[in-house]
Amino acid sequence: MNKTVREKIEERELLYLSPLASKSRNTKGRKRYEEPCTLRTEYQRDRDRILHSKAFRRLKHKTQVFFSPYDDHFRTRMTHTLEVSQIARTISRALELNEDLTEAIALGHDLGHTPFGHSGERVLNSLMPDGYRHNEQSVRVVEFIEDLNLTAETIDGILNHSYDYNPSTLEGQVVRISDKIAYINHDIQDAIRAGIIKTDDIPKESVEYFSTTNRIRLTKLVNDIIENSFGKDKILMSDECFKQFINLRTWMFEHVYNNSPAKQEEDKAQNIIKRLFEYYCEELKSLYPSSAEKIIMQTVCDYVSGMTDRYVLAKYEEIFLPKPFIQKNNDEFLFKLATMNGLTK
């Protein structure tokens, strides 16, 4: 009997991947059973579903650090995601882990990010009764809003990619550390490009250990992780590399993320999101008076958090700024979410 392409891939995984790797054949499965694909493993199907999702496409117009940059060479949330994927796949391949699962987690890890980056996340966190965390919203996007029916391992990796979480698979751990490596390195490049810092400003100790060259710094970090993680049940850096990396990360928070010209527009951005959130909550309360306020707020959170930077600005202008008559942008997805969340009139 001829074997399918998927079955051949699954057999190669058993032969060539590390005993510690996640094997497609041994997945914990999906919430809803689906017949196996003849061509792709379960993790390959996850990757493809994420790649073709609407939420993934919107990442190209969501802030990484710099709000709505006109310079095409600054990172957006999508280019950040692609860089995380590239780093994570390199590490997974070297450690003989499951590269397909790694890629699926990497591509999906930031689907729940807000417009205007972490500043948008902070304002939604202050508005929502139970707070807002982009990793949890990423899971909500794939499980509820777009209903991708992903495997348990991919969802676990997406949920647990953030700093204080612990993925259950080594592939998830690889994405978690690759996310940090990616944003520190590319944000240094973008901050230099923006004139916020100069190469000479980077701490001397970090320069001596990592170099000032992005390529050399990345290579050193990736090689250190591979050398210290191979054959182990945890993804690790050496003590010295970890110390130097944390020092560089701390310096970036002090000089770029928390106290730089990149943050000058943050109050304006947060006010825009807050006003839109409040506006849509009042609109849904009037349209669905019998519905619980918490469900209304969740519906608006789903809608606003999914917006791109430019769509937020367009909606703010449409709703709050006076202008001659123009055709309005359509809010039909807000009402689709209202139905999905069970709001009642």
pLDDT given at position 324: 66
Tell me which of 170-179, 196-205, 315-324 is least confident: 315-324
Read off the tokens for 168: 């259950």
Residues 6+ apart with CB under 8 A from 274: 123, 127
**Position 221 pLDDT exceeds 80:** yes
pTM value is 0.92
Q: pLDDT per residue over 250-301, tens digit each?
A: 999 999 888 767 677 888 999 999 999 999 999 999 999 999 999 999 999 9
Average pLDDT, the chain: 94
**Position 130 pLDDT exceeds 60:** yes
pLDDT given at position 282: 98
Q: Is the model more confident about 67 or about 150?
A: 150
Q: How many residues does the chain have?
A: 345
Which of these, 232, 103, 227, lies nearest to 171 by C-alpha position? 103
**Position 99 pLDDT exceeds 80:** yes
- Band (pLDDT 50/70/90 cuts) for residue 325 is low
- Band (pLDDT 50/70/90 cuts) for residue 4 is very high
CB 88 within 8 A of CB 174: yes
- Residue 52, CA distances (Å) to 5, 48, 172, 342 in order: 22, 6, 21, 27
Tell me which of 124-138, 172-186, 260-274, 281-295 is least confident: 260-274
* Phi, psi of 30, rounded to the nearest 5 degrees: -110, 160
Q: Which superfamily does CATH assign the domain made up of 39-263 to?
A: Hypothetical protein af1432 (1.10.3210.10)
Which of these, 150, 163, 125, lies nearest to 55 by C-alpha position? 150
Q: pLDDT per residue over 32-81, tens digit each?
A: 999 999 999 999 999 999 999 999 999 999 988 877 656 788 899 999 99
Q: Which amino acid is at 244?
A: Q
Q: Which amino acid is at 323?
A: K
> Average pLDDT in the 14-43 region?
98
Burial 61-80 (b: 16+ CB within 10 A, else e): bbbbbbbbbeeeebbbbbbb
- Band (pLDDT 50/70/90 cuts) for residue 163 is confident
**Position 120 pLDDT exceeds 90:** yes
Residue extents of the structural domains in the chain? 39-263, 266-340
Which of these, 61, 158, 37, lies nearest to 115 by C-alpha position? 61
Q: Strand pairing partners for 76?
A: 63
> Average pLDDT in the 136-164 region?
97
Q: Strand pairing partners for 63?
A: 76
- Nearest-angstrom CA–CA distance, 181 and 336: 38
Which of these, 76, 260, 95, 274, lies nearest to 172 by C-alpha position? 95
